[in-house]
Structure 1
């Protein structure tokens, strides 16, 4: 007898992975995001989601304290995908809106803000999760 698992459009399974706090982890994080979106039939969100997770990982690499970060991809509702990165720093990220053209870095949250429906920071006693939510069409 073969038992088939029925994929659920929301909730579990969520996808997460602990990664080293290095720039190269963005590649693994993008792969995790693509895997989750493909499982949920949301391939049309891959480009925006890949950019968002890259920026979130980059911020955690720059500002985290310990040698690892955790990437989390979940679907809290049928019309939202949440991308999050957990690190052990309690420093709340600030969106830079200055237009100093000399700086090539430091405006990743402006991109996250532009690509997501909403984003934020959940503070914990030991660190934080910075997340962004993309709006998506429910699976049919």
Structure 2
């Protein structure tokens, strides 16, 4: 492993250790988007083994996001997010099976939209967390 990769891994581990729950979700969104972008590059480079590993990691991250949903407290919004995450998982499986960059772009767009909303409520989430 080269120095840059070691630095990135240590930086990511430090970010996770120091992160609050809201930040952890932000890191998951970023991680999924990063893996999808890397998978697109691997498709273009015809490195299908690496592409498959990256997409599987993205699927795992989306499944993790889905698992964090609190359907009791989140109500209808949590249910809709659950359905959207399920759709993304299926789309990523299809993209993996067919080397479909358009499907990867579609999932990236959906993830970016959700991440932007999540990023936008950071202050509110932090104030609620401090009140607990």
Structure 1 length as normaliser, TM-score? 0.31
Structure 2 length as normaliser, TM-score? 0.32
Which structure has greater helix proportion? Answer: 2
